[in-house]
Amino acid sequence: MLFYLIIVIVTAADQLSKYAIRSMLQVGESMPFYRDFLTFTHYQNTGAAGSSFPGSARYLGVLAVIFIIVVLYYRQKGKIQGFLKESGAAFFVGGAVGNGVDRLLYGKVTDFLVFRSGNGVLNLADLAINLGVLLIVADLLVSLRERKM
């Protein structure tokens, strides 16, 4: 149940935040949010992470759908078990759904989170995907440590 709840919350938060940005800011327009740490700047990305593969949003959207189906299949077969692994997979799928919706409906992904570190422009789906990867890696490290003991 938690698995699906995480997916729904991540997808809803991602889509609502993107809708708000598209409604409030023109493409390229910025709005400081939290001191100098975070700025909202409306970008449209037609490619993948870091604007790689520009113009391939629909193809990437189809790949996201395939990925989501594969993860759901493996979870149904009991291959994704344990709190960290299940939570990580759920955050990853929620992020893939959020960005996949943008790619399939609009042919581009709305990005808007610009952190002071200057390491690209993100959205909530991207953050969820990164969190998912971290949780899965943490699960892997815990499993490796337990095997050594």
Average of per-residue pLDDT values in the chain? 90
Exposure class string for 55-72: b at 16+ Cβ within 10 A, else e: eebeebbeebeeebeebb
Residue 24 reports pLDDT greater than 60: yes
Report percent pLDDT > 70 for the chain: 92
* Structure token pair of residue 19: 């809708």
First to last CA, the chain: 32
Whole-number pLDDT of residue 89: 96
Please indicate whether residue 126 is annotated as part of the active site. yes
Name the more confident of 57 and 6.
6
Catalytic pick from 14, 102, 126, 139?
Answer: 126
pLDDT digits (tens, 9 = 90+) for 64-122: 889 899 999 999 999 999 999 999 999 999 999 999 999 889 989 999 999 987 778 89
Residue type (1 letter), 149: M
Task: Identify the CA nearest to 135 among candidates 64, 98, 83, 71.
Answer: 83
Told to judge if 111 belongs to the known catalytic residues of this protein, a careful annotator would answer yes
**Catalytic residue, candidates 14, 102, 111, 139:** 111
